[in-house]
Amino acid sequence: MRRMYREVSSSAGTPRAGIGLKRLRTKAGLTTREVAELSQKIAAAEGNEEYAVSHARMIQIENGESTPSVYKLFTLSAIYGASFNAMVSLYANLANIAKHQLELPASRTHLADFGASGKDHLVSFPVRFDPGLSVEKTNFLPAWWRRGATYPRVYWRT
């Protein structure tokens, strides 16, 4: 089990993520020391030192030698003015979450939250039903289906 962890951690795309974080920092016009100072303010405001990112840790992260925790990604997101999802996306393809949720067997049925929102996640097309179908009398069509012809993209397999 230990060997598998090492393989995953060494191939997780950390160097590429580090480069992306360095680009965000450079775009913001900040040095690693300034990021460290700003992170101390966020850690104090949150009341948790986990939010702080030291200068040395910033260098390790940007060089791909270290992967930041969710707390540190939160801080970097706030400092760089980037969404938290954008920060996490440097390390993992978030679109794969919905794919895995659909592929994994569920022990019982439940609604899955794919995190889809916004116009980028909608598909519009005309829908024709059997003339005898009464959408008011069925419980099998979700409300978004009955309202119109714009549907979350995650419900359609390509």
Structural domains in the chain, sorted by start: 2-89 (1.10.260.40), 109-155 (no CATH)
Q: Which of 86, 89, 52 is nearest to 72 (CA)?
A: 52
- Do the beta carbons of residue 144 and residue 111 sit within 8 Å? no
Q: What is the dihedral of CA 30, 36, 39, 44, to 10 degrees?
A: -140
pLDDT (tens digit per residue) in 8-26:
333 345 789 999 999 999 9
pLDDT (tens digit per residue) in 69-114:
999 999 999 999 999 999 999 999 888 887 887 787 777 666 656 5
- pTM strictly above 0.85: no
